[in-house]
Amino acid sequence: MYKLLLISFLIINSVNLSDVSYYEILGISKQASTQEIRQAYKKLAIKLHPDKTSNTDEQEKFIKITEAYETLKDPEKRQKYDLYGSFPSYTRKYDYHSQSEYNNLFYNGLYKDDSFVDTLSGQTFYSYLNEGFHFINFYSPFCPPCQNLVEHWKKLAEMYKGIVKVGAVNCKYHNSFCYNSMRIGSYPSLLFYPNGKHGNFIYYRGERTLEHLDKFVMAYLNSRVHVAVVSQILNSNKPIAYVLGANRIERGALTRISYHLKGLVTLVIVEDDNLRTKLTDDDYTTVVFKYKEIKKEIKNIEENDVVKEIVEALPKIESIGPEKLKDIRNRLRQGAKSPWVLYFSTKGTDRLLLHQMTNIFPNINFAEIDCDKWGELCSSLHVEEPPAWGVLKTGGTYQLAHGTDVKTFIPTAIQATNLHTLSASDLQRILEGDASMWVLAVVPYKLSWEHIADPFMKAALNFIDSNDINFGIMTCTLNTDKYCRQLAQNEPAIVIQENRKRHYYDGRIEEDQLTEFIQLLLDSEDLELDEQQVLEISDPSSRQHTWLVAYLPADCGVTCSHLAHQWRLVANKLRPLEFIRVGILECSHHSHGFCTNVRSPTARLYPLASGQHFTVSLQHLSEAPYILEWALSHIDEIQKLNWNLFSKSVAAEELNPSSNRKPWLVYFHSPRCYHCYEMYADFAMASILLRNAVEVGKVNCISDRGLCQHEHITGYPSLRLYLHRNKHQTFSRVITLQLKDYDALLRDIEAYLTQYDDTLLNSIDFDVRNQGFNIKHDEF
C-alpha cells in the first residue's frame, strides 16, 4: 500500500494526470477495496488540499484526485469506469430503437426504482408534500435537457437524502396533471418548496448541473443551520461534535451533517491547535464526539459515515422483546394513556431517523425491536422489510406505518385509536360479518397506497368518538394476497363491511368525501326496504307519504354500489321535506315476488294519494343531482318560462304593476351545466316553502338564449328575485341572489321580502315540510 502511494506521488508530480488512470492517480490497485480507496484519498487530500497550498498546479491535482475518488468510491460508477473508461464514455444516452424501449420510457420514465428520487404522479403528489424542503422535477423522458439532468438529479437526491425530498413527475405519462393542475409549460421544470405544503414554490431558473443545484439548495440550508467556530471546550449537558478543522470535511457536507443532527448534537469547528491537542493526539481524527462520559474519535471524512458514527455514539433507545411488548400492550388495554412508537431494525440499520423522532416527540415512549433476534415477533406484527415503524395506541390498538412520512404518521396514528393493522385472519372474520361496521383499506401485494394513507387516517379521526365503527388496514404479502384479491384487483380499495353487507367506495380518496360516504351509511339505516314494504308503498290506499324508491337488481356489482351511494345522497338532500320518504330495494338471488321483475336499476316516484307513479331508468340518471332534478320536477310548482311567458308575467309586472301579484324568483340555467343540476335541488326545495309568497320559474338559457342575453345572464346557474313597484316601493328592483343551500337561500329571500312587503311573510308556511302536495299527473 505504502509503495503504491509513493508511486502515486511520483506520478502526480511528473505526469500529465489526464494520461493516467484513476487507480494510478490514487496509487491503488484495481483490486482495491472501498476502504483502501478512502484511505488513499484521505492521505493525498491532506497534502494537496487548497487550504494547505496556494500552488495552482497542486490545486489542479487536488481536483483530479477528488474526481478519481468520486468515481471509484461509487460501485456503479466504478464498474462503468472499468468497462468504458472516463465519464463521457459511459454517460447513458436515452435513445430508443424499438417500441418496447419507447414504451419503457413512456410508462416508467427516467427515475423508475431509483433509490433516492421519488417517482410521483398526480394521485400521489399532494400527499407527498409535507413539512420541510421538497424539490420536484417535472420532465418528459424524451426531452434531451431532461435526459442530461438525470445523473445530476440523482446525485442531488443522494446528497440531500433525509434533508430534501427530491421527486420527479413524468409529464409525458401524467400530462393532464402537469398541464392542467401544475401549469407546466416546458421541460424540465424544477419547483422548489422551501416550506413543503405550507406556502408557495420557487421556480428554479439556474443552470441544471449538480454544482449549481447544490448551491441553490445550500443557500436555504445555511439559513436554517449554522456551524460555529469555537476556541475552547464547551460545558454542556448535550452531545457535542468537534470537527477538527474546517478543511477536514467539505463545507457543504459539514452543513448537511449539522442539519441531520439538528436538535440531537451540536456541531462546532475547532481551528485552534492547542484545543485540538486537548481533544486528541491523533492527526487522522476528523471529529471528536463528547457527551457526559462518552468520548468517540471519528477518522472518517465521508459525511454519511461521520453521521452514522455520531448516531452510534448517542445513548441507545430501549430495545424490547416479546415479553416486554406483551406487558406494554396489556397495560394499554387496561387504560394506560402513554402510547409507544416501535422501530423495527436489523443489523446495520441507520438509526438517525429514530433519534430524530425521539427529539421531535420527547413525551412519547420509543422502543426498538431487533428483527434479526426476534424475527417471529416482527412477522406477527406484519413487518416484512425492516427498518419499519409501528405504533401501540391507548386501548392496545396496533398500527404499522406504510410508506407515509414518519413525522406526520406518528401524531396522527396515536390519535386514531380506532384504526388497526389487520392480519389475514382478522380480515376474514370481518368479511364473514362477525363484527360491527368496519372501514377497510385493502392493499394487494406490491401495490402502492401512500396516496390514500393520509386521508384514510384523517377520516378515521372523524369517527373517533363512535363506538359503532372501526377502521382497518390490510396490506397483503405474497402469502396473503389471495385475501386482498377478493376485494381489490389492480389498485387499493376502500370497502365498508357492515355485518354481512358490503359497500365499495369508488369516489376520490379525500378525507371529506370519504367521511361523507361513511356518514351517509350510518345515517341511512332507514333507507332499506323489503318486498313487502314495496308492495304496501305501491298501494295508494295505504300510502301516507310521497315515496321515491330505487330498485336495484341482483348481481349488479359496482354499478349498483355506486347507485346506492347516489341514492343515499338523494335521501340526505330531501330529508328536510318530511312529506317525502326515500327508500331502496336491493334484490338478491334469494328474492322472489317483486324482485323477479327488477331487471335493471330503476327509480319510481309514488305521489301521495295517487294511483299513478313516475318511472325512470337509473342507467340514464346515475348521479344524485340528475335524480333530484327529475324527482323534484314532479313535485315543485316551478314554471318553465320562455320569452313569451316571461314577457307576459315577469316583465309585464314591471310595466303595469298590480297590487295582487307576487314577486318572481327565476332560476336561469343550462342543461349542459353540471353545477346547475347540483344547485337545482336547493332552489326547488326553497321554492316549495315559498310557494305562497312568490311566483317561481326557470329559464333554459340554451333554448331561450335571447331571453338570457336580455337579462344579462353571464354565468350559470343564476338566480334573480324580481321585486316590482308596490305601495311600499316606488321602483322595481332585480336582485341577483347567491346560490346556497336551501336554508341559507330562504333566509336571504326572507330578508328582502321583509323590506319589500312583510305581509308576504305571513303566507310562508314553514311547516310545509310536514305537509303533502298535489303532485303533477303523469302525462303517460
- Look up residue 540 and give its amino acid: P
SS (H, E, C) 505-525: ECCCCCHHHHHHHHHHHHHCH
* Close Cβ partners of 113 (under 8 Å, ≥ 6 residues apart): none
* Domain 2-90 class in CATH: mainly alpha
What phi, psi does 3 have (nearest 5°)?
-65, -40
711 φ, ψ (degrees, to nearest 5):
-90, 5
- Going by the DSSP 8-state scheme, the letter that residue 528 receives in this structure is B
Q: Which residues contact 552 (CB under 8 A, 6 or more apart)?
A: 560, 563, 564, 584, 585, 586, 587, 598, 601
SS3 735: strand
Exposure string of 320-345, with b = 16+ CB inside 10 Å and e = fewer, is beeeebeebbeebeeebeebbbbbbb
Q: What superfamily would CATH give domain 99-222?
A: Glutaredoxin (3.40.30.10)
What residue has cell string 410508462? 107
Beta-strand relationship, 718-723 and 664-669: antiparallel
Residue type, 101: E
Interval 280-313: pLDDT, tens: 988 899 999 999 889 999 999 899 999 999 999 9
- By C-alpha distance, which of 422, 437, 418 is closest to 518? 437
For residue 6, give Cα distances in angstroms to 9, 91, 284, 319, 554: 5, 32, 19, 48, 86
Where would I find the H helices in 583-673?
624-633, 643-646, 652-655
**Burial track 717-746 (b if 16+ CB lie within 10 A, e otherwise):** bbbbbbbbebeeeeeeeeeebebbebeebb
Model pLDDT, residue 658: 59
Please give the distance of CA 77 from its chain centroid, rounded to a whole number: 35
Buried-state track 598-623, b at ≥16 Cβ within 10 A, e below 16: beebbbbbbbbebeebbeeebeebeb
The per-residue pLDDT for 363 is: 92
Q: Which of 57, 60, 59, 6 is nearest to 28 (CA)?
A: 6
- What's the pLDDT at 90? 41
The CATH number corresponding to 524-633 among 3.40.1160.10, 3.30.56.10, 3.40.190.10, 3.40.30.10 equals 3.40.30.10
- Give the separation between CA 431 and CA 487, rounded to whole angstroms: 10
Q: What's the pLDDT at 92?
A: 44
CA 226 – CA 752 distance, rounded (Å): 63
How would you class 240 by CB atoms within 10 Å of its CB: exposed for 0-12, middle for 13-18, buried for 19 or more?
Answer: middle
Q: What's the confidence (pLDDT) of residue 212?
A: 96
Starting from the edge strand earliest in sequence, which strands make up the sheet with 437-443, in order? 419-421, 469-475, 437-443, 493-498, 501-505
Q: What is the pLDDT of residue 609?
A: 73
Residues of the chain predicted below pLDDT 70: 1-19, 49-54, 56, 59, 83-98, 403-404, 653-660, 728, 730, 762-780
If you average pLDDT over every residue of the chain, what do you get? 86
In angstroms, rounded to a whole number, what is the distance separating the alpha carbons of residues 468 and 175?
43
Q: Are 239 and 296 in contact (CB under 8 A)?
A: no
Backbone angles phi, psi at 471, to 5 degrees: -120, 140
Domain limits, CATH 3.40.30.10, in the chain = 99-222, 228-313, 322-519, 524-633, 639-770
Termini Cα distance of the chain: 101
Instruction: Please give the CATH superfamily to which domain 228-313 belongs.
Output: Glutaredoxin (3.40.30.10)
Q: What are phi and psi of 730, to 5 degrees?
A: -85, 0
Architecture of the domain delimited by 322-519:
3-Layer(aba) Sandwich (3.40)
CATH superfamily, domain 639-770, is Glutaredoxin (3.40.30.10)
How does pLDDT run across 145-154, given as a tens digit for each residue?
999 999 999 9
Give the SS3 label for residue 755: helix
In this structure, the strands spanning 469-475 and 340-345 are: unpaired
